[in-house]
Amino acid sequence: MVKANKGIDEAAYRAGRFSKVTFQRETSQSEGGSTQEFLLSLRDHTSGFASSPAACLLPVCGEPDSRRRPGFKERSRLSLMSAAAAGTSRTTHGDVAARKKKGPGALATAYLVIYNVVMTAGWLVIAVGLVRAYLARGSYHGLYYSIEKPLKFFQTGALLEIVHCAVGIVPSSVVLTGFQVLSRVFLTWAVTHSVREVQSEDSVLLFVAAWTVTEIIRYSFYTFSLLNHLPYLIKWARYTFFFALYPMGVSGELLTIYAALPHVQKTGLYSVTLPNKYNFSFDYHGFLILAMVSYIPLFPQLYFHMIRQRKKVLGHVEDYSKVE
């Protein structure tokens, strides 16, 4: 009996049903004679599941067990069903990811193309106005007055970029975009427009020239990207000219705010003093100083963000050219 059962179990092992078979033998004496019971503990190391002790008790003399494991055909069918379910799950997740990566719709794309074309044309008008005024006067002093109106109009129009990010048609950070746009709008209206004494400062021309070149390149980049026909020259300029234009623009902005401080303090522009019925005070002079200080932590973040973007966009192209 022992040899017969062992042969059956070894045959099951060779058939590939189980990866390891462990036999435990117990012998007990009774009044009618000796009886032998065999406890077969089976562990399927291949599938990673262990059978319970109750299910591992096999009857002596090869009696059929009603709690048998699924046969080869049944396991194959279950495997196919699991694979089909996994494939369906991957397809579903892939569709969701594709929808998330999908850009704006046709109507939103058409609107963004028109917006970027208009903004590109507007900053081109400002650039042409600066060049014409310089050629007519023969000096760069006071060039701000020749482009004051278009500068205010198109720089204020950049506020729509914050709306684009907020509604989701442009995948950019609302906070980052808001800081960049609002800082320029603030400098245009709350400093340069409000403090007329600084309009003839050379620092104003410095940031206006930096803004003009930057915005022409940036809006051209967005326009061609939306049309899926982006020239490499514009891409390269977008992620290269900022090395000089960003420090140039920030320097002009800081110098202009600094030049406005004495006039703001003297006139009390936009300041609110106590006592008043609202029991509220505001010192615009101190606010401008805080605005200048805020450039210290914020400007490096924006600058190094562009450097990282440049490595991401142009890095593989430069590496390829080095290999050649």
Q: Which residues are catalytic?
A: 246, 253
Q: Which residue is listed with tokens 């593989």?
A: 316
CA-CA-CA-CA dihedral for 287, 289, 291, 297, to nearest 10: -140
CB 162 within 8 A of CB 251: no
6 Cβ contact list (under 8 Å, min separation 6): 23
Q: How many CB atoms lie within 10 A of CB 153?
A: 12
CB 226 within 8 A of CB 119: no
10 Cβ contact list (under 8 Å, min separation 6): 21
